[in-house]
Structure 1
Amino acid sequence: MSKNIENAIYNEKLPSGLPWGRVIKKGQTFRIVDLEGCQAVDTLFYNANNVNDRYSATDTIREQGSIFITTGTKLLSSDDNVLMEIVEDTCGNHDTLGGHCSAESNSVRFGLNKKYMHSCRDNFLTVISQLEMNPKDITNNINFFMNVPVEEDGHLAIVDGISKPGDYIEMQAQMDTLVLISNCPQLNNPCNGYNPTPIQLIIWDN
């Protein structure tokens, strides 16, 4: 059921390439909107009361029997708690294996001259330092709207996105969940269509 934006308790645009962090309270609904289409949104999830209990790609994939996430997927933590449940998804294509870009991966994939280009890891390091977290706390992330198919030889490919302007994913917090986002700044592969764009972040009380 479509929600009234006017009833949202939080509604902000996040410019391309920037980080964001907030606790989504149990029962609240969180929507990420891909405003212009084909933007990758790298996202980390933690138990807000114990950041050592964080999103686990392994457990989430095992329980749902798929490497991709969409409506009905429960995002499981390393302690087997349900952090979030996806309740609506207009895109249907989100990656949970590809990880996030970093200075190191930029240099390996695209050349040493790309090493110091802005990256999602830089964004995550910025936001976790503000929360007095440790770099080792940056673990599994989800790449919302990012198109990472599995090729016939088993390798992951990063290809053109399929999300359209206005596509969104909506999830309900099953416990107080710290959400950290890097609105991906990557310019060297097609995850953003080589053109990072803003997203919209909306929260409702239920």
Structure 2
Amino acid sequence: MDMELTHDTASMMIPAGQGLAFRIRTGDRFRLVDTEGGQVGDLFAFAADDPGEYLSAAHTRTAVSRLFPRIGEHFATNRRRPILTLVADTSPGAHDMLIAACDAARYDALGEAEHASCADNLRIALSGLAMTTHLVPQPVNVFMNIPVGTDGDLTWLPAPSRPGDAVTFEAHMDSVVVVSACPMDLNPINGERPTSLAIEFVTPRT
């Protein structure tokens, strides 16, 4: 689904288990809102004029020397350019950039071959903008709570975000962003009951 930003604010809903793609211009801001609480959002971002350049979790970790940026720090592309900046976060601050997007193979291994997935949501959402990608990048898993133990073990915990919690991003380049309201209901990350997310667009006044 596409949208022109002609007003100072606008919003769009992402139904549980589905995805949304939108275009955003350099300097524009958007908020990812957890409408009911406890819901993970898989976020992907691509350079608007070249989907071969995309937000890369690995390059971001290198750029910020952290598992996730702090407020004011940027997410980097696979070409080491800033694409989004983390502007604000009203949630408890649990987010993940280690876990791959769920896909058909993961659900097949869990005995749910026809299950919706974030990888499929990415492709379906991009097709609405007449775009394709042959790669499913590592997403920014907003609100996802996967703590890393001192021994390196990962723990899969429910998202601690509360109703109305939001994370705000600012675009460093004209971009196409995709957000998937993760459909995972076979482990605790969404409280075993996926719910909706919202996108609120904010075009800074000049």
TM-score of the superposition, structure 2-length normalised? 0.89
CA distance in 2, matches of 1:74, 1:50: 19
Sequence identity percentage: 30
Unpaired runs of 5+ residues, structure 1, are 1-6
SS in 2 for 1:147: coil
Which residue matches 2:38? 38
Q: In the TM superposition, what whole-angstrom CA distance separates every residue of 1:4-60 from its partner, at most 9, and x where no partner exists? A: xxx743212221111100111111111011011110001111111111111111111
Report the CA distance between 1:183 and its aligned residue: 0.9
Gaps of 5+ in 2: 1-6
Aligned partner of 2:197 in structure 1 is 199
CA-CA distance at 1:131 after TM superposition: 3.6
Cα RMSD of the aligned pairs, angstroms, is: 1.6
Asked if the contact 1:8/1:202 (under 8 Å) is kept, the reply is no
Aligned to 1:26: 26
> Is 1:97 equivalent to 2:59 in the alignment?
no
State the 1:105 CA deviation. 1.1
Q: Report the structure, 1 or 2, having the larger helix content.
A: 1
Partner of 1:13: 13
Q: Residues 25-174 of structure 1 correspond to what in structure 2 (within 5 A)?
A: 25-91=25-91, 92-108=93-109, 110=110, 112=111, 114-174=112-172
Q: Name the amino acid aligned to 1:67.
A: L
**Matched AA of 1:191:** I
Q: Distance in 2 between matches of 1:50 and 1:166?
A: 33
Structure 1 segments of 4+ aligned residues over 6 angstroms from their partners: none
Shift of 1:71: 1.6
Mapped to 2, the partners of 1:40 and 1:21 lie a distance apart of: 16
C-alpha distance in structure 2 between counterparts of 1:78 and 1:199, whole Å: 27
Range 152-161 or range 125-134, more displaced = 125-134
Q: CA offset at residue 190 of structure 1?
A: 1.1
CA distance in 2, matches of 1:32, 1:128: 18
Quote the Cα distance in structure 2 between the aligned partners of 1:150 and 1:106. 24
Post-superposition offset of 1:72: 2.1
User: 1:4 maps to which residue?
Assistant: none
Number of residue pairs matched by the alignment:
197
Contact 2:90/2:165 (8 A) holds in 1: yes
